[in-house]
Amino acid sequence: MRINKWTLGLAAVGLVSLVPASRAEDAKPVPLNTALSSTTISGYVDTSMVWNPGSGNNNPAPYAFNAGKQDGFNLDSVDIRLQKSLDDSKWAAGYVAELMFGPDATAIEGSGGGIAGGTYPIRQAYVELRAPLGNGLDFEIGRWDNLIGYESSDSYKNPNWTRSYGYSLEPTEHTGILATYKFSDMFTAQLGGADTMTTGPINARSTSATALNGQPETAKTLVSLLSFTAPDSWGFVKGSSLYAGLDWGQGPANVPPGDGKSRAHLYLGGTLNTPVKDLTLGGAFDYVTHEDELGGLDTGHAYAVAGYLSYKITDKLTLNGRAEYSDGSYLGATSVTVDPGFHEVFALTGTVQYSLWDNVISRLEARWDRALDGGAPFGGTAGGPSTKNEVLIAANIIYKF
């Protein structure tokens, strides 16, 4: 029996069986058992349409993913995720391989500039392992999403399409090892070690370990998160959650805040279910500081406070709101478009989400950012006047698969 390469390829992934034609009637197909049998594929396509009333878009407000989207139609990102989840066995193993394409992907720290350090388009790629210690100790080894923060890099997981200033201050990815232990249904702890504090190219080492001729094995980053979930016995509060996280370490070269800087990040956040059915409140606090290891000087800090409200009116219609305030010298320093003197801002965001089509998230959003530091850092044209305010009206359409 002659078999072409295409048939061999299908057989290799278990889609066909190699049963000789002469025996097809009296032999049942024998599928090949491969590691792909329990792999799932998922992802999304994220698009938007943005209008900024007024003229001049030279200096957009410096929250994440805002640059370059003014007054036009946008493909924001395409995400493809392959995953084999951990099963219930004591020595379970799995993996995640997630690729992200588009402007939002390249805007994630470490993915900017295309193929920097072999990062883009890899967003996450790690091996999952379980060891039968206590209730089970799970590990992720490789490149994984940042732990802290109220919002996600996947916009469909957030109550609003645009990101908060708190999210914009946080790292997005780490390369290292992460351990997760669930003490009970109420308490979960995560602790990890990573190459760098700020997100950078895959396998990048910290600045201090290179610029100061230091020891790379001692210049690592600590990440941590403690989670609490209210039990069912707590009445209407059940399912509410609280989070506390602390990260500390150094950043890679050529990634803000620059060479020789260490960084500490404190995060507190949570969601609260209310007596009003389908009304949920949320809150988040981010504080970040940097220190110049070369000179021992404070090179900047920032903090952000945000409050969230979500009300599910029907199975299809949900209203989401966010109010936030951010202040600090580091806020302007992180932006390549806004005057570095910019350091204080207030923003309001309102979002209407309606599920009309299957697997589609459709949102209409309005946002207002107001600079409070006395300057006029937003908008403007080359050589033209700028403004204290930025107003955005956006439509967001996402297909999940």
Give the model confidence (pLDDT) of 299-324 as tens digits. 467 899 999 999 999 999 999 999 99
Residue 101 has pLDDT above 80, yes or no: yes
With CA atoms as reference, report the closest residue to 103 among 118, 114, 90. Answer: 114
Cα 193 from Cα 293, distance rounded (Å): 20
User: Are the CB atoms for 211 and 225 separated by under 8 Å?
Assistant: no
* Residue-level pLDDT at 343: 83
Torsion of CA 87, 400, 354, 391, to 10 degrees: 110
* Residue-level pLDDT at 13: 42
Please state which of the ranges 143-147, 156-160, 167-171, 244-248 shows the lowest mean pLDDT.
167-171
Query: Please, what sign has the CA dihedral across residues 78, 267, 158, 130?
Result: positive
Could you list the residue range(s) of the whole structural domain that residue 329 is in?
73-316+325-336
Cα 118 from Cα 101, distance rounded (Å): 14
* Residue-level pLDDT at 56: 81
pLDDT category of residue 208 using cuts at 50, 70 and 90: low
pLDDT category of residue 333 using cuts at 50, 70 and 90: very low
Cα 290 from Cα 229, distance rounded (Å): 32
Query: Please, what sign has the CA dihedral across residues 145, 146, 150, 152?
Result: negative
Phi, psi for 155 (deg, rounded to 5): -65, -30
What's at 338, amino acid-wise? V
pLDDT category of residue 337 using cuts at 50, 70 and 90: very low
| Residue 3: how many other CB atoms lie within 10 Å | 10
Mean pLDDT value of segment 6-20: 42
* Residue-level pLDDT at 219: 77
pLDDT category of residue 114 using cuts at 50, 70 and 90: very low
Please state which of the ranges 4-13, 83-92, 180-189, 218-227 shows the lowest mean pLDDT.
4-13
Cα 185 from Cα 238, distance rounded (Å): 12
**Residues 34-89: tens digit of each pLDDT:** 566 789 999 999 999 999 998 788 889 989 999 899 999 999 999 999 999 999 99
Q: Is the peptide bond before 60 cis (omega within 30 degrees of 0)?
A: no
User: Are the CB atoms for 219 and 204 separated by under 8 Å?
Assistant: no
Residue 335 has pLDDT above 80, yes or no: no
pLDDT category of residue 236 using cuts at 50, 70 and 90: very high
User: Is there a domain that residue 276 lies in?
Assistant: yes
Phi, psi for 53 (deg, rounded to 5): -55, 140
Supply the DSSP symbol for 119.
-
With CA atoms as reference, report the closest residue to 85 among 54, 53, 40. Answer: 40
Give the residue with greater pLDDT, 256 vs 152. Answer: 152
With CA atoms as reference, report the closest residue to 195 among 244, 141, 127, 267. Answer: 141
User: Is there a domain that residue 362 lies in?
Assistant: no
Residue 229 has pLDDT above 70, yes or no: yes
User: Is there a domain that residue 278 lies in?
Assistant: yes
User: Is there a domain that residue 49 lies in?
Assistant: no
User: Is there a domain that residue 14 lies in?
Assistant: no
* Residue-level pLDDT at 118: 61
Mean pLDDT value of segment 259-280: 87
Residue 242 CB burial class (10 angstroms; 0-12, 13-18, ≥19): middle
User: Is there a domain that residue 38 lies in?
Assistant: no
Q: E strand or H helix at 396, and its extent?
A: strand 389-400
User: Are the CB atoms for 300 and 340 separated by under 8 Å?
Assistant: no
Residue 14 has pLDDT above 90, yes or no: no
pLDDT category of residue 130 using cuts at 50, 70 and 90: very high
What Rg do the C-alpha atoms of the chain give, in angstroms?
A: 24
Cα 388 from Cα 379, distance rounded (Å): 8
With CA atoms as reference, report the closest residue to 108 among 225, 200, 7. Answer: 200
Give the residue with greater pLDDT, 256 vs 278. Answer: 278
The pTM of the full predicted model, rounded to 2 decimals, is 0.83
Count of domains in the chain?
1
Mean pLDDT value of segment 208-230: 75
**Residues 285-297: tens digit of each pLDDT:** 999 886 543 333 3
Cα 14 from Cα 87, distance rounded (Å): 21
User: Are the CB atoms for 230 and 237 separated by under 8 Å?
Assistant: yes
Cα 67 from Cα 331, distance rounded (Å): 15
* Residue-level pLDDT at 340: 52
User: Is there a domain that residue 381 lies in?
Assistant: no
Q: E strand or H helix at 310, and its extent?
A: strand 297-312
Give the residue with greater pLDDT, 391 vs 341. Answer: 391
**CA max distance for the chain:** 85
Mean pLDDT value of segment 158-177: 94
pLDDT > 70: percent of the chain: 77
* Residue-level pLDDT at 117: 53
Q: Count of alpha carbons within 13 Å of 66, Cβ hemisphere only?
A: 29
With CA atoms as reference, report the closest residue to 224 among 261, 198, 188, 200. Answer: 188
**Residues 344-400: tens digit of each pLDDT:** 999 999 999 999 999 999 999 999 999 998 888 888 887 677 889 999 999 999 999
Cα 317 from Cα 310, distance rounded (Å): 11
Cα 166 from Cα 287, distance rounded (Å): 8
What's at 340, amino acid-wise? P
What's at 16, amino acid-wise? V
User: Is there a domain that residue 54 lies in?
Assistant: no
User: Are the CB atoms for 197 and 263 separated by under 8 Å?
Assistant: yes
